[in-house]
Chain A
Amino acid sequence: MIDFTEEQIERYSRHIILPEVGGEGQSKLLEAKVFMIGAGGLGSPIALYLAAAGVGTIGIADADVVDMSNLQRQIIHDNERVGVMKVESAKQSIEKLNPDVVVKTYPYRIDADNVREIIREYDLVIDGCDNFPTRFLVNDACYMEKKTLISGAMFRFDGQVTTFKPHEDKEGPCYRCLYPEPPPNGLVPSCSEAGILGALAGAVGTIQSVEAVKEILGIGQSLSGKLMTFDALRMEWKKLRLRKDPACALCSDQRTIFDLVTYEQACELPFGK
């Protein structure tokens, strides 16, 4: 267990007094290394809560710069940082919040050439990206590198969160068990032009943070095998069963995918038009 400084004991006191966390759990958090894809709507609350919780190392990948239209929901950035790389802005906010956290920035797109090497350094991966090709790439890479993946997505008023860890949970599905391959162009929403209720990102991203902290602490029930859905208009959360596909091309006995696949971005007519 880490020797806490007095400041750390005070900072993390509300964690440390929880029997499920304690000094031991707080040490685990400080020693944890989490990699996040996206420093946007979901990445903002995720990074802030993980930083506040004292997750010791946070890696963040995002190739974009802060745009004025992001500020309606991407609360890790601010007015003065419009035009700044998102990863740089996120790093500044995290360091202001908690100097215990080491932030590593990856100001470029995650692709088939870099993803496995990057995630190898981390204990846990959190996906908050905005497109299907990256979701499949990250899923496959996490399976190959045996990393737990906490996945969150949102669209307009809907959110979805789940955890994939087929390497640990024999019954646990991967993203391809849920969706075998990306939808063809034009059939589902994936465009960044789509509207989104700002605070929805907070609801979904915060659930991902809770899941990440629990995963690091090893407490409670995991979302592996369950899809949590949130309908903000109905104000309703649901938990649906996700099963391992016995014919999954990645994580089943009938595996056919052994190398990372690069898909083209599908971004045309949204699903609901």
Chain B
Amino acid sequence: MTIQVRIPTPLRRLTDGADEVSIEAENVGALIDNLEAAHAGMKDRLCDDKGDIRRFVNVYVNDEDVRFLKGKSTILKEGDEVSIVPAIAGGAL
């Protein structure tokens, strides 16, 4: 099924500036792989060498962090929205 994925500004270089992309996927792991296939470089930003989601990047399905669901095995259903929320530090700048 088609899932809407929200892309944070730091990653929009990889999506030609798109703030949202549509990806076919049954679960979060497949979504990351298909995201990589459509927008090369994405997986490296989101996952470490072992393929686990990096700890300073949080992936949400709707308003819930996938770490508190089933991680990359989290099943996606029609209408779900996935958001990628990287750690950001700026403030005084």
**Could you tell me if B91 and A41 are in contact, using CB atoms closer than 8 angstroms?**
yes
Q: Select from chain A the residue with minimum beta-carbon distance to B20.
A: A234
A157, chain B: closest CB distance, angstroms:
5
Q: Give Cα A101–Cα B75 distance, bound, in whole angstroms.
A: 53
A65, chain B: closest CB distance, angstroms:
12
**Could you tell me if A41 and B19 are in contact, using CB atoms closer than 8 angstroms?**
no
Q: Give Cα A183–Cα B93 distance, bound, in whole angstroms.
A: 19
A239, chain B: closest CB distance, angstroms:
7
Please choose the segment from A19-27, A92-100, A140-148, A240-248 that sits at the chain B interface, where 4 or more of its residues have CB less than 8 A away.
Answer: A240-248
**Could you tell me if B55 and A128 are in contact, using CB atoms closer than 8 angstroms?**
no
**Could you tell me if A272 and B19 are in contact, using CB atoms closer than 8 angstroms?**
no
Q: Is there a chain B Cβ closer than 8 Å to A258's Cβ? A: no
Chain B interface, number of residues (Cβ within 8 angstroms):
30
A window 229-252: CB within 8 A of B: 229, 231, 233-234, 238-243, 245
B73, chain A: closest CB distance, angstroms:
18
Chain A: interface secondary structure?
loop
Please choose the segment from A7-15, A49-57, A186-194, A214-222 that sits at the chain B interface, where 4 or more of its residues have CB less than 8 A away.
Answer: A186-194
**Could you tell me if A194 and B93 are in contact, using CB atoms closer than 8 angstroms?**
yes
Q: Give Cα A190–Cα B60 distance, bound, in whole angstroms.
A: 22
Q: Give Cα A99–Cα B8 distance, bound, in whole angstroms.
A: 42
Q: Select from chain B the residue with minimum beta-carbon distance to A44.
A: B92
Q: Which B positions have Cβ atoms within 8 angstroms of A?
A: 6, 8-14, 19, 45, 54-56, 58, 60, 63-65, 67-68, 83, 85-93
Tell which of B14, B86, B92 touches A130, judged by Cβ atoms closer than 8 Å. Answer: B92
**Could you tell me if B93 and A273 are in contact, using CB atoms closer than 8 angstroms?**
no
**Could you tell me if A40 and B55 are in contact, using CB atoms closer than 8 angstroms?**
no
Q: Which A positions have Cβ atoms within 8 angstroms of B?
A: 37-43, 62, 64, 127-132, 135, 152-158, 160, 178-183, 187-190, 192, 194, 196, 227, 229, 231, 233-234, 238-243, 245, 270-273
**Could you tell me if A153 and B89 are in contact, using CB atoms closer than 8 angstroms?**
yes
Q: A239-B63, A240-B65, A241-B65 are in contact. Are A130 and B10 (CB under 8 A)?
A: no
**Could you tell me if B90 and A155 are in contact, using CB atoms closer than 8 angstroms?**
yes
**Could you tell me if B90 and A130 are in contact, using CB atoms closer than 8 angstroms?**
yes
**Could you tell me if A192 and B93 are in contact, using CB atoms closer than 8 angstroms?**
yes
**Could you tell me if A271 and B90 are in contact, using CB atoms closer than 8 angstroms?**
no
